[in-house]
Amino acid sequence: MYRSIIKEKHNRRYSDRELFSRYIKRLAPFRKNILLVALFIFLTTIAESIGPLVVGFVVDQLAILSNQFGLMLFLTLSYIFLSTIQWIMFFLRRREYGKFVPFFLEYLRMDIFEKLQEQDISFFDKYQSGALNTRVSNDALDFGDITSLISETIGNFLISILTFTILALLNLFLALIALITVPIVLFLMFSLRRLARLVSRPYRKAIENVNNAMVESIEGIHVSKSYGQESTILNQFSDINKDYFRATFKLTAVTHLWRHILNLIASITILIIIFYGAQIFLEGYLTAGTIFTFILYLQSFFRPIIVLATFFPQLSTGMAAYERILEILDSKPLVKQHPNAIQVGELEGKIEFENVNFRYGNDHWVFKDFNLKVRRGEKLAIVGHTGAGKTSLVSLLARFYEFQGGTIKIDDIDIRNMTLDSYRRNIAMVQQEIFLFSGTLEENIRYGKSNASKEELERAIRAVHAEEIIKYLPDGIKTRVGERGKGLSMGQQQIISFARAILSNPKILILDEATSSVDAYTEAIIQEALEKLMLNRTSIIIAHRLSTVLNADRIIVMDHGDIVEEGTHKSLLAHNGKYAQLYKQYFEHQSLK
């Protein structure tokens, strides 16, 4: 079940340079905060740097002075003062992080979410919901974690320069020995950068796979239970979870475990410096306090060097997340409105397809030079076998997908020349698969027209006889429904969706097998409501029930993207063609006879 999730491949679209450049631009609004954090780190370092000087001074003075109490008091007060300064700088640094990191994440997630809202349905055909959720949540969070990395890197770079300057002033020869290790550390840093990038991609994909599997298993729980496949699903998820464990282990090994190598290099360097420092001390060129101070400073010198060495591996990990985010941010919707698109008011509803060509991606053509005219206020029923192009037709009309050739006109205006929001305000679509949002019934009914008056709301409810449902619910119209309308039957969900469509008062009504999920009694109620709803509106109905076909002004029969027959129910039956076959297969058993 989940094999396709695991096998999905990832191809790089961005170079490291491009990713880092775009990252710096995204940080630009927060440069003041970043510089302040770097400044606080630097001030903390100055306070830390004074400490070893004080200790070295006290060590040398203890050998020549008898008043040790005064020296120890001086040392104690100095450390209290310096520790206070460090605490204040730490507090200011964390406060500055609190100012910009959450805002950085907020803006990033809003950019991702806004971009998702811009996409057409073809985009969502390519991505699973769990994958998109991963980009918004996990990837954004992991990328946000490196926003503090720049500040820390700037601060640690300043620390290294300051500390080396002090070491050189204490003893240039020993300072140069310490400096020799820097090229070695930099070599490790650059060599591990690419490796970190390589292991980060599978790690990010593994998280996405876990999220995809979780979402799919929850949404399909009724199917898996009805077929007794719980243990199979569990085993398949176990494989995905193990892949996640392996990817996490590899990432941890690359980004953390190798730091012990750097610590080993630092320890060896310190031992070498102690050896040569002892020789210089014995020759009388250094005091014991200077050597002690030098060793303390070595700790301060190597710590930021090691932190700096982890910069590129950690950055590569964050950039792997950023690369996946950019795939969303750089996605261009195929459905676009013309730059000079016009805002339209209430349309009349005359529809015309002229030589329309359409296919999904690189698949075979669904429509080739397709033509259809629908009169204003006409009730048009579409019938045909699965794959005939019925849903594709209404999806193009709703601007869910972009067609590759021809034109679709409403009231003689190309729909691509209308703004999407003003055009879609004239259309209501009720599909076979109903989606209700978590919230109250009233919020769901008002979804298409949130500013509707109470009278309009009640009128829409009465039109579909939804009051018969609402009066038996515990909180009436304020009753909360769960995700995807949980708590309501399919028939009840369908009625609520019709109330939602009626309230939006569309000029073009699209029904995609909208009554296929309801029982005969509910259908009778809805059919009565539909007759009222379709008055003075252009209605296109993908027919699933005989009642819909009988009440249509015109019926078109589709087969492999072409209109093969059209007419009324009686004329098409008399023709004894494709429609007659469909009638005998799908509709005849529904008649009272």
Q: Which tokens belong to 524?
A: 């009778």
**H or E stretch covering 557:** strand 554-559
Contact 555, 568 (CB under 8 A): yes
pLDDT at 222: 54
Q: CB under 8 Å to 568, separation ≥6 — which residues?
A: 552, 553, 554, 555
- Report how far apart, in Å, the C-alpha atoms of 173 and of each of 160, 162, 167, 177, 318 are: 17, 17, 9, 7, 39
Q: CB under 8 Å to 552, separation ≥6 — which residues?
A: 379, 380, 381, 541, 543, 568, 569
pLDDT at 370: 93
Within 13 Å of residue 44, how many CA atoms lie on the same side as its CB? 20
Measured between alpha carbons, how far is 52 from 166 in angstroms, rounded to an integer? 11
The residue ranges of every structural domain in the chain are: 15-329, 351-590
DSSP-based three-state secondary structure for 352? strand
**H or E stretch covering 477:** none
Is the sign of the CA dihedral 274, 275, 279, 282 positive or negative? positive
pLDDT at 406: 93
What are the pLDDT digits (tens) for 123-159?
888 877 777 777 777 777 777 777 777 667 776 777 7
pLDDT at 554: 92
pTM, two decimals, is 0.70
Q: E strands within 306-399?
A: 351-358, 367-374, 379-383
pLDDT at 128: 72
Ordered alpha helix ranges (H), 171-287? 172-219, 221-226, 230-252, 259-282
Measured between alpha carbons, how far is 82 from 90 in angstroms, rounded to an integer? 12
CATH superfamily of 351-590: P-loop containing nucleotide triphosphate hydrolases (3.40.50.300)
3-class secondary structure for 144-191?
HHCHHHHHHHHHHHHHHHHHHHHHHHHCHHHHHHHHHHHHHHHHHHHH
pLDDT at 592: 47
Measured between alpha carbons, how far is 587 from 437 in angstroms, rounded to an integer? 33
What are the pLDDT digits (tens) for 317-335?
777 778 888 888 888 888 8
Per-residue pLDDT of the chain (593 residues; tens, 9 = 90+): 444 444 444 556 777 778 878 888 888 888 888 788 878 877 877 777 776 666 666 666 665 655 666 666 776 777 778 778 878 888 888 888 777 777 888 888 888 888 888 888 888 888 777 777 777 777 777 777 777 776 677 767 777 787 788 778 878 888 888 888 778 777 776 666 667 667 777 777 777 777 777 766 766 665 665 556 667 777 777 788 788 778 877 777 776 666 677 777 777 877 887 787 777 777 777 776 677 777 777 777 777 777 766 666 677 777 777 888 888 888 888 888 788 889 988 888 899 999 999 998 888 899 999 999 999 989 999 988 888 888 899 999 989 899 999 999 999 999 999 998 888 888 888 877 777 777 888 888 888 788 888 888 888 888 777 887 788 778 888 888 766 667 777 777 888 888 888 888 888 988 876 565 566 666 676 677 677 677 788 989 887 666 677 778 899 999 988 999 999 888 888 888 888 888 777 666 555 45
Give per-residue burial for 270-298: e unless 16+ CB within 10 Å, then b.
Answer: beebbeebeeeeeeeebeebbbbbbbbbb
Q: Is 1.20.1560.10 the CATH classification of the domain at 15-329? A: yes
